[in-house]
Amino acid sequence: MNVPASDYFLYPEVTPIDRLDKACQDHDKDCSHGGCSGKGDTALRNAALMVAVTTSDVRLRATATSIAIGMHLIKDIRSR
């Protein structure tokens, strides 16, 4: 189910499946308060990088690396 960030607060929290999922969940919460912020993007980037360098799961590493790159590229153009 896709939930717009502005409606995130309407739904109960789901237990994250791993550290990357938790970081994404926290980022979604940040975005639900008036839009995404550079600070929230940086926090997600840092958490994703930590997962990428510490996991032995190749698929999780690739996903975390992709998220970290995306957050690094977008963080400086956020209005909040």
Q: Would residue 42 count as lying in a domain? A: yes
pTM of the model: 0.81
14 falls within a domain: no
Per-residue pLDDT of the chain (80 residues; tens, 9 = 90+): 667 766 766 777 778 899 999 999 899 888 888 888 889 999 999 999 999 999 999 999 999 999 999 999 998 887 76
Those residues whose C-beta lies under 8 Å from the C-beta of residue 33, and which sit 6 or more positions away, are none
Task: Give the whole-angstrom CA distance, residue 16 versus residue 37.
Answer: 22
Give a yes or no: residue 22 inside a domain.
Answer: no
46 falls within a domain: yes
Interacting residues of 76 by C-beta distance below 8 A, sequence separation 6+: 38
Count up the domains in the chain and report the number: 1
Residue 75 lies in a domain: yes
Provide the 3-class DSSP secondary structure of residue 11.
Answer: coil
Segments forming the whole domain that contains residue 59: 36-80
Distances (CA, A) of 14 to 2, 22, 49, 77: 14, 10, 23, 30
Give domain status of residue 63, yes or no: yes
Would you say residue 54 lies in a domain? yes
Asked whether residue 72 is domain-assigned, the answer is: yes
